[in-house]
Structure 1
Amino acid sequence: MQAYAVMNVAFLYIAEPYQCYHGASLALALGAYAGVDVVNYYNFPETREHLKRIGRVMGAPEPDMKFLDRSFPIKMHEAAKRLDRVKLMLLRQNAEELNQYDAIVATEYTAGFLRKLGVTRPKLILVLHGAGDRLVDDEALMRDFDFTLLPGPKVEQYSLQKNLVRPGHYATVGLPRMDVCAAMQQDTPEGLFSNPRPFVLYNAHCKRKLSSLPRFMPALFKGFKGQSRYNLVVAPHIKTFHKSLGMKTRFMKRYNAPTIHVDTQSDRLIDMTYTAHADIYVGDVSSQVYEFLVKPRPCVFLNTTGIEWRNNPHFLHWNLGEVVDRPEEVMPAIMRAQEVHARYRPLQEKLVKDSLGDPVLGASKRGAAAIIRFMK
């Protein structure tokens, strides 16, 4: 870092608290270098406690944190749950302060707009916060970043083919989130049920056009109430509930039953507790399936729209378990998932390495070292 007496780095979390699980361990690893000062900027007030928690489990000092400044109009949009609009307004209001840093590290593409808002001094660094296969509408914004940390060879190959990154301006390091989640795996989801049965995790995507919740949840509710082999944890992506003014939360809670636990707000939705401890995964297009498969286990995938998924790279993970097209098929598939798992396990092991890198752990330190090399 010959060009810097002190390198000042801002980590930017402009979405819900789940984002800090993708970047905070990287911030801690980077801040451990002599001559590097890191400040964590956050949008949601709850993110502060999550940043503190991550610091504790990683055995690090409490991180420097700052709540992003916001005007009265921004607060009005927040109250109306216009959260996507709030992101751009926050970037605009805080652009002058962020422009004083040497680097800005973000975990979502939206930060690429900072260049259009006059933030020209810092290097913009992107940390991809998933290793899935889904086509992302705004992935072209990756080109607005000076440097990108990629999770594994699969995403590296895709990003190069699409000209989203260029040689010398990216590093494939793994997923820093996995380091945090490994440190938290002692937090088992005890006390959810009054019986010791294994549990199935149902992890639906948050986007309405992709989510399997409306079509498949009634069948899962009926099916799990009528069997005695498994419990069910319903844990959709946390963003499912942040724009609904509480209506989706109240609607989903009606599915709670002695063998069904619906989680709409706990920390377990974002700290990988459920993916670490579930016995079977049921889902649609969430990248969390790869986090679940760090330890190979049975999966069932729900084809909500009847899409032709075979040979489609954006549904590659659907080759890792049985795919069902109709709600009446889901319970039989779950009941035979353990029996048929052996046929999927070899490909699960291969795609986890392709998606998350090998080894899975250590991405935070590898990512920090890559940033240091780039900034030199």
Structure 2
Amino acid sequence: MKIAFLYNHDAVHQIPHTIPVASALAARGVDVHVLTSSAEQRETAASLIAPGVAAPGTAVTFHDLTLSWPNRLADHLLRPVLPFKRIAILREHATLLGSFDAIVVPETTTTLLRTRFGVSAPKLIYIPHGAGDGAAGFRKTTRHFDLVLLSGEKVRDRMLSGGLITPDNHAIIGYPKFDIALGRPVERFFDNDLPTVVYNPHFNPHISSFYPFGRAVLDWFAQQDRFNLIFAPHTMLFKRAIHITPIHKRIGWRGNLPKTLLDHPRIRIDTGSRRSVDMSYTRAADIYLGDVSSQIYEWIAQPRPAIFFNTGGEDRATSPDFGHWSLGEVITRVDALPAALDRAITNPDAFKTAQELRRDLTFSMTETPAGERGAEAILAFMARSASATG
């Protein structure tokens, strides 16, 4: 049995969500292939494979997926508007991808193999990269997967109610990223004892607080002396200077950060290193500041104060896409931030009960690691499929 783990994105943030499952399958003797579309992805995936599994002679094979020069040029021109590279990678490597028994992915673009490029043989298996509430995690394309592996009841129930999965084509396995992140020591990033805020805005200009508020937020932290700040936005924010959302007709110009912020003793800026995606900052900080990132759910693995910027009006407060706003205080202006931070320090447990309830619905935690549970679910599914066709 040949099972591929495909990483086909501009950044590396999706890799920790599935690589523990690859490790667990390889340890069971499955012929595992890791396919990456950049050197950074390959390096990250190789570093996260369980120790010993990626050694010579084991069952992990790495493949580099590259583009022809015309498609590289087209990607350079079209990158701000659409994920051209991801689509071109699928098209150019359709024959290789069609040679596997199953393909495991943390995103939904891969369904184009089946719907557009005629690759029908492999089973498509989806492990979402995150467990948030945003609409991006509940796309209709989910229906094209043969098996969907989920973190817990919250996501399962919403997908079932939306007709995105069926009672028979999914399993709850927990959150594989926790297998990697929660066992490491918590790092210390400042040489003082001030409370630390992590600011984690999204990159999508339709929902992000960075475009209207980001510079003002950074300037406020630079001018005060009561808090440390870790600015660790969604890793895609600094991958492009311009972000466009054609559906909502929104354009966001990211801009550059002034050098005074880069050298500030109480501000740490990370626009996309490994620490920005491996929970280093969400584990080390005391207060979360953001808008819609699914990292809020990684944050409440250990309940702590959270503050959210609402940049889109009152109607968002009742939408399931913003359900995480029940886990902290919601503000609409930067000048409301100082008082919100004061309340977070004075009453850090104000949202603890709500966070614990939501955490337990979002993440299924057992003595068996999620990577192992995912491997078992995949093997059981492949055995059922073989039996049904045999």
| TM-score, with structure 1 as normaliser | 0.91
Name the CA distance, whole Å, in 2 between partners of 1:146 and 1:112: 10
Task: Tell me how large the CA RMSD over aligned residues is.
Answer: 2.2
Distance 1:12 1:202 in 2: 30
- The offset of 1:194, in angstroms, is 4.6
- In the TM superposition, what is the alpha-carbon distance from 1:288 to its structure 2 partner? 0.3
Whether 2:211 is the aligned partner of 1:218: answer no
Aligned mate of 1:326, from 324, 333, 347:
333
CA contact (8 A) 2:78 2:84 kept: no
Q: 2:356 aligns with which of 342, 349, 355?
A: 349
- Distance in structure 1 (CA, Å) of the matches to 2:379 and 2:213: 47
How does 1:268-287 map onto structure 2 within 5 Å?
Answer: 268-287=275-294
**Residue by residue, what CA displacement relative to the aligned partner does 1:225-257 show, whole Å, maximum 9, x if unpaired?**
333221001110011111228x84733665332
Cα deviation digits, residues 246-294 of structure 1 (max 9, x gap): x847336653322222211321111110011111100100010010110
200-209 vs 43-52, greater mean Cα deviation:
43-52
1:239 aligns with 2:275: no
Distance 1:319 1:110, change over 3 A: same
- Is the CA contact (8 Å cut-off) linking 1:249 and 1:264 kept in structure 2? no
Give the ranges of 4+ consecutive aligned residues of structure 1 lying more than 6 Å apart after TM superposition: none
Which residue in 1 is equivalent to 2:31? 37
Q: CA deviation at 1:360?
A: 8.9
Give the aligned partner of residue 373 of structure 1: 380
Shift of 1:74: 2.2
Identity among equivalent positions (%) equals: 37
Task: State the match for 1:186 in structure 2.
Answer: 185
Residue aligned with 1:130, SS: coil
Structure 2: distance between partners of 1:165 and 1:370: 16
**Aligned-partner residue type, residue 123 of structure 1:** K
Q: Which residue of 2 aligns with 1:84?
A: 83
Q: Given the alignment, which residue of 176, 180, 196 partners 1:199?
A: 196
Q: CA deviation at 1:188?
A: 1.4
Structure 2 segments unaligned to the other structure (5+ residues):
243-252, 384-390
Number of residue equivalences: 365
Distance 1:265 1:172, change over 3 A: same
Task: Tell whether the 8 Å contact from 2:3 to 2:31 is kept in structure 1 after alignment.
Answer: yes
- Indicate how the Cα distance of structure 1 residues 312 and 368 shifts in structure 2: closer, same or farther if over 3 A, else same: same
- Matching of residues 1-376 of structure 1 within 5 Å: 7-15=1-9, 16-34=11-29, 36-55=30-49, 60-62=53-55, 63-80=60-77, 82=79, 84-115=83-114, 116-136=116-136, 139-183=139-183, 185-186=184-185, 188-190=187-189, 193-244=190-241, 248=254, 250-251=256-257, 255-256=261-262, 257-359=264-366, 362-376=369-383
Q: Do 1:74 and 1:90's aligned partners in 2 also have CA atoms closer than 8 Å?
A: no
Secondary structure of residue in 2 paired with 1:124: strand
The answer (yes or no) to whether the contact 1:152–1:174 under 8 Å persists in 2 is yes
Contact 1:194 1:258 in 2 (8 A): no
Asked whether the 8 Å contact 2:203–2:236 carries over to 1, the reply is yes
Contact 1:129 1:175 in 2 (8 A): no
Q: Which runs of 5+ in 1 are unaligned?
A: 1-6
Please give the alpha-carbon distance, in whole angstroms, between the structure 2 residues aligned to 1:275 and 1:131: 15
Residues 186 and 283 of structure 2 are in contact (CA less than 8 Å); yes or no, is this contact kept in structure 1?
A: no
Q: Report the Cα offset of residue 357 of structure 1.
A: 1.8
